[in-house]
Amino acid sequence: MSYDKDEYEKLISTSPLFSLDKEKQRIAYKREALKMVEYLYCYLMAINAVKYEAFSVEIVDTAKRCIENYNPEAGHFINYFSAAWKQTYGHLVGKELVKDTFGGMHFTEEEARNFRKYMRLAQTKGFNTVSSEFDERVADAMGITIAEVNSLRSMINCKPTSGRYINDEGEEYSFIDQLDSGVYADSDILHFETAKEFLDLIEITFDQLQERQKPMLAMLITSKIALLTNEDDKLLNFIRKKTFFDGEVFEESLKRGEQIQAKEIAKRFGVVEASASRTWKSFKEKIETTRKNE
């Protein structure tokens, strides 16, 4: 079946769904909601049917959730849905990668954290962490098999740190570049521990700035990371405590379903867009310097 992206984009944008009263016009609302789910499904198929066809159930579930939670004052619904689907798809891809790479083995964050502790402890004592003796001791301490120890080691060793990520095609990216583009390295960015490392890196760099530099950068940073965290409660709770977090910008970004552009943020501070862009570019360079000095 052939799908026309422009056609479905138009159907989504002109749908009367969100002008209906959900309680007083229940039948009409339900009818238009069902149509919207179909439009959103076809819209994604038009973008990349090969990529998304295997996730039909998840597309429908995401569409229904977005319809239920959408605020008409938040901006274009299609942007809201696209952001939600991007994150959902990232979770799905991540699960598939774990299944393919580690034979379906799944490890909790606590297990991975404990394994790292054992490795650091062994390394500080000059113990060989790639040996049968180490594997046996860790397996016994953690109550897991030797095979699981090997998988944990492989998973931790292949996962980049401090802002470096590998996408599902094996290409390396910088987390900060993903934030710039608004297209995240989905299969890796969703690991809480990895995202936490980079957010800590941002905060360390941010705290070193002069006070006069912080307000605009806080807005720029928060806008760029808002869509990353909006469906991850653990990550959201973590980021709310960061010194660079701007609650107002965060909520506004979620309502729009997209980043607030540098041009708009610059206007709020009475400067030109080029100034905000230079500020962001300089901050990225400082982050890289901080990363190298870790």
37 located within any domain: yes
Cβ contact 259:223 at 8 Å: yes
pLDDT of residue 171: 42
Check whether 162 has a pLDDT greater than 50: no
| H helix or E strand, kind and range, residue 165 | strand 164-166
**Shared-domain flag, residues 189 and 262:** yes
The residue that leads in pLDDT, 39 or 291, is 39
What is the structure's pLDDT at 157? 55
Model pLDDT, residue 76: 85
Is the residue at 44 inside a domain? yes
293 is written with which tokens? 């000095």
162 neighbors 197 (Cβ within 8 angstroms): yes
Q: Is 98 in contact with 106 (CB distance < 8 Å)? A: yes
Note whether residue 268 is domain-resident. yes
Residue at which a domain ends, from 65, 90, 115: 90
Whether residues 226 and 201 share a domain: the answer is: yes
Better-scored residue on pLDDT, 138 or 165? 138
Q: Indicate the length of the chain as a whole number.
A: 294
Q: Is the pLDDT of residue 32 over 50?
A: yes
- pLDDT for the residue 108: 65
Single residue among 90, 113, 137 that ends a domain in this structure: 90
Claim to verify: residue 280 and residue 216 sit in the same structural domain: yes
Residue 97 lies in a domain: no
- Structure-token pair, residue 103: 């034979």
Residue 53 has pLDDT above 70, yes or no: yes
Task: Clarify whether residues 138 and 187 are in a common domain.
Answer: no
3 state DSSP class of 216: helix
What is residue 169's predicted lDDT score, i.e. its pLDDT?
38
**Residue 214 falls within a domain, yes or no?**
yes
Share of the chain above pLDDT 70, in %: 75
Please report whether residue 95 resides in a domain. Answer: no
Average pLDDT over residues 46-61: 90
Give the number of domains in the chain: 3
Provide the pLDDT for residue 242.
Answer: 93
pLDDT band of 37, cuts 50, 70, 90: very high
Token representation of residue 154: 């492989």
Determine, yes or no, domain membership for 152: yes
Instruction: Please state the rounded mean pLDDT for residues 17-37.
Output: 94
User: Is the whole-model pTM more than 0.75?
Assistant: no
Domain boundary among 66, 90, 114: 90
Reported as a single tens digit per residue, the pLDDT across 101-129 is 444 556 666 777 788 778 777 776 777 87
231 is a domain residue: yes
Inter-CA distances, 75 with 90, 125, 172, 183, 255, Å:
23, 57, 33, 19, 7
Place 221 in a pLDDT band, splitting at 50, 70 and 90.
very high
- 198 and 248: one domain? yes
Domain co-membership, 194 together with 283? yes
Domain hosting 148: range is: 102-158
pLDDT for 174-200, tens place per residue? Answer: 566 556 544 443 433 445 666 777 888
- Residues 204, 242, single domain; the answer is yes
Give the three-state DSSP class for 97: helix
37 and 60 in contact (C-beta within 8 Å)?
A: yes
Let me know whether 150 and 236 are in one domain: no
Clarify whether residues 126 and 32 are in a common domain.
no
Measured in whole angstroms, the distance separating CA 168 from the mean position of its chain's CA atoms is 14
Tell me, yes or no, whether 153 and 246 share the same domain.
Answer: no
**Predicted confidence (pLDDT) per residue in 66-82, tens digit:** 999 888 776 789 988 98
